[in-house]
């Protein structure tokens, strides 16, 4: 079942709804409906709204207004994300989609700008749009006749909510907008990876702080946002660190070369394959057909997951070519190591075949990547040869 589905597109950018959003929309409608009286009082005091509270709390009115305000709020969130997206597009960064989920919106950039000026502009564009939406809602609020209490309530509330949204997003908790602004400023005077590390550390600290406030106020939403910020800060910091570590590293540098590869033949039984996996402690093998007339030929890749599809008692009756994957994901040896990592992550696979001129010359797996990353972090270089050169 897909986690999200497309509801349309704006400026060529697909707008998607995540399943978690369908939970949060009625919840927000309910919460706003519950608090209609205090909020109307606030609007009457703060904006001199002159709303007849009796008229908007009668019958099902609170729930209808709650739903209208909740939908309005999420329209505001989409516009906020469009602010980020259109600015990013102007700099030439493609946008995959805008997704509405549990905690609002996400604009998925396929690539992050490393130029601090571009990042600053993209990050700040969202909150600026939110302020403008707030101002627009306020203008409509003023324009609507006094007799339409419900419409004035929704517009007045949206005016406040959008400004609150802008201010909240400017909290410097990376990867929230304010945190990206902070990273952009930090990146002016230090390397991008260092700036990210520092912004992420501040983000995690603020996340812990937000979590504590959430616990004290017993606010589920605050705890949720804190949790999300913490996880997202850690993962983005790790990704940027990896990217910096692997800057000049190619797939060829860290792959397992073909000469060291363990391979199987298509006619090997699944039982024999599983036995080999046990003794060699490998979970993926390229399948090489050696009977081919023109010599060895790569015909597939077989993993433990493939083997597990066959019931243990029947594994003698099946051969590798019946369970192997023939839709092979390959990569060139001169590709960046980071490209290989992203390729594996996006397709949710554990290994890629390294192919040059149609020949299998190696295999790169997640464990190859992690080992290389460990070595880079400890020694500052990937291959022994380049270490020797610096020692000359
Ligand atoms: Zn934003």
- How far, in Å, CA of 385 to CA of 54, rounded? 80
Given pLDDT bands bounded at 50, 70 and 90, which one contains residue 385? very low
282 is in an annotated binding site: no
Whole-number Å distance, alpha carbon 130 to ligand 1 midpoint, is: 9
pTM of the model: 0.67
Whole-number Å distance, alpha carbon 309 to ligand 1 midpoint, is: 44
Given pLDDT bands bounded at 50, 70 and 90, which one contains residue 45? confident
192-216 and 177-186 helices cross at what angle (nearest 10)?
A: 150
- 332-376: pLDDT as tens digits: 888 888 888 888 888 888 888 898 887 788 888 888 888 887 777
Q: Give the mean pLDDT of the chain.
A: 84
177 is in an annotated binding site: yes
Tell me if the bond preceding 67 is cis, omega within 30° of 0. no
Query: Which chain residues have CB less than 5 Å from ligand 1, an ion?
Result: 126, 169, 177
Instruction: Choose the weakest-confidence range: 101-110, 352-361, 375-384.
Output: 375-384
Query: What is the per-residue pLDDT for 1?
Result: 46
Phi, psi dihedral angles at 382 (to 5 degrees): -95, -55
Query: What is the per-residue pLDDT for 379?
Result: 63
Whole-number Å distance, alpha carbon 216 to ligand 1 midpoint, is: 26
* Whether 314 is catalytic: no
Whole-number Å distance, alpha carbon 384 to ligand 1 midpoint, is: 44
- 224-237: pLDDT as tens digits: 778 878 887 887 77
- Identified catalytic residue from 34, 37, 81, 309: 81
Look up tokens 């369908």; give the residue.
22
């Amino acid at each position: 079942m897909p986690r999200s589905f497309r509801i349309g597109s704006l400026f060529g950018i697909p707008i998607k709804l995540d399943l978690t959003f369908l939970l949060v929309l009625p919840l927000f409608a309910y919460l706003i409906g519950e608090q209609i009286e205090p909020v109307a009082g606030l609007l009457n005091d703060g904006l001199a709204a002159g709303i007849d509270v009796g008229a908007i709390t009668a019958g099902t009115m609170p729930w209808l207004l709650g739903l209208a305000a909740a939908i309005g709020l999420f329209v505001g969130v989409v516009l906020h994300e469009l602010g980020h997206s259109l600015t990013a597009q102007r700099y030439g960064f493609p946008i995959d989609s805008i997704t509405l989920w549990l905690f609002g919106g996400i604009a998925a950039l396929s690539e992050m700008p490393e130029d601090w000026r571009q990042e600053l502009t993209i990050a700040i564009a969202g909150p600026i749009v939110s302020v403008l939406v707030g101002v627009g809602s306020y203008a409509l609020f003023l324009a609507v006749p006094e007799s339409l209490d419900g419409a004035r309530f929704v517009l007045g509330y949206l005016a406040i909510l959008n400004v609150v949204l802008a201010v909240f997003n400017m909290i410097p908790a990376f990867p929230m907008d304010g945190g990206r602004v902070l990273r952009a400023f930090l990146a002016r005077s230090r390397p991008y990876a260092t700036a990210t590390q520092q912004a992420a550390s501040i983000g995690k600290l603020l996340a812990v702080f937000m979590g504590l406030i959430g616990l004290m106020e017993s606010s589920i939403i605050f705890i949720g946002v804190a949790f999300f910020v913490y996880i997202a800060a850690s993962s983005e910091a790790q990704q940027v660190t990896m990217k910096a570590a692997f800057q000049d590293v190619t797939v060829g540098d860290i792959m397992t070369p073909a000469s060291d590869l363990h391979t199987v033949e298509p006619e090997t039984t699944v039982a024999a394959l599983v036995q080999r996996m046990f003794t060699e402690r490998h979970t993926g093998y390229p399948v090489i057909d050696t009977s081919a007339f023109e010599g060895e030929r790569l015909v597939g890749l077989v993993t433990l997951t493939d083997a597990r599809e066959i019931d243990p008692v029947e594994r003698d009756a099946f051969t590798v070519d019946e369970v192997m994957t023939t839709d092979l994901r390959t990569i060139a040896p001169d590709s960046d190591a980071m490209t290989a990592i992203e390729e594996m992550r996006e397709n949710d696979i554990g290994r890629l075949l390294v192919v040059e001129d149609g020949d299998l010359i190696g295999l790169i797996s997640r464990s190859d990547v992690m080992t290389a990353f460990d070595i880079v972090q400890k020694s500052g270089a990937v291959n022994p040869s380049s270490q020797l050169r610096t020692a000359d």
